[in-house]
Amino acid sequence: MIYDPTIQNEQNHRLLEISANNQSIAELLYNSNAETIAQYLIKEILEYQQSLPNTEDVIMVLVQFNQQIILRVEQIGFDGYNLLVFHGTDNTGKPLRLIQHISQLNFWLQTEPKPDPEVPKRQIGFVSP
């Protein structure tokens, strides 16, 4: 094996990034469960939603099989240790439920104009099993 100090420095830098919030790697692994991730996602979505003007609301865009699917999230829950469950509607109002393994989360948050600016933003809640 050849020692490369550049690679070692990059690895050390990454470890510093990981523990920058006073979390050890063991804590990160312990906290990588569906319930903790669901709570974190709700927090992030709500913070993003609160930063928007009253004329806009947040949507979640899923990228699956070369398609974009819009999900207006109403609830985020979990099933067991590693499955997240997203409840909401698509852009036609049809109910959707997405069940996703925590290792396969790929989506982005986007804004869209609210149909009626006078209606309050949707409440996004947490559902426990």
In SS3 terms, 17-37 reads as HHHHHCCCHHHHHHCCCHHHH
- Do 88 and 118 fall into the same domain? yes
pTM of full prediction above 0.95: no
- Do 37 and 27 fall into the same domain? no
Q: Kindly state the average pLDDT of the residues 43-70.
A: 84
Residue 91 has pLDDT above 60, yes or no: yes
- Do 111 and 59 fall into the same domain? yes
Please work out, in degrees rounded to the nearest 5, the angle formed at the alpha carbon of residue 25 by the alpha carbons of 104 and 28. 45
Task: Tell me whether strands 95-101 and 107-113 are parallel, antiparallel or unpaired.
Answer: unpaired
The pLDDT tens digits for 32-56 are: 788 888 888 888 888 888 899 989 9
- Do 39 and 4 fall into the same domain? no
Q: Give how far Cα 116 sits from Cα of 39, 82, 90, 94, 119, Å.
A: 28, 37, 17, 19, 6
**φ, ψ dihedrals at 26, nearest 5°:** -60, -40
- Do 79 and 114 fall into the same domain? yes
Domain count for the chain, please give it: 2
Q: Give how far Cα 83 sits from Cα of 35, 38, 94, 95, 111, Å.
A: 9, 9, 22, 19, 26
Reading the block at residue 21, the tokens are 């919030």
The pLDDT score that the predictor gives to residue 127 is 54
Contact indicator for 71, 90 with CB cutoff of 8 Å: yes
The pLDDT score that the predictor gives to residue 2 is 44
Question: What is the extent of the structural domain holding 120?
Answer: 33-127
- Do 15 and 48 fall into the same domain? no
Reading the block at residue 71, the tokens are 């999900």
- Do 7 and 47 fall into the same domain? no
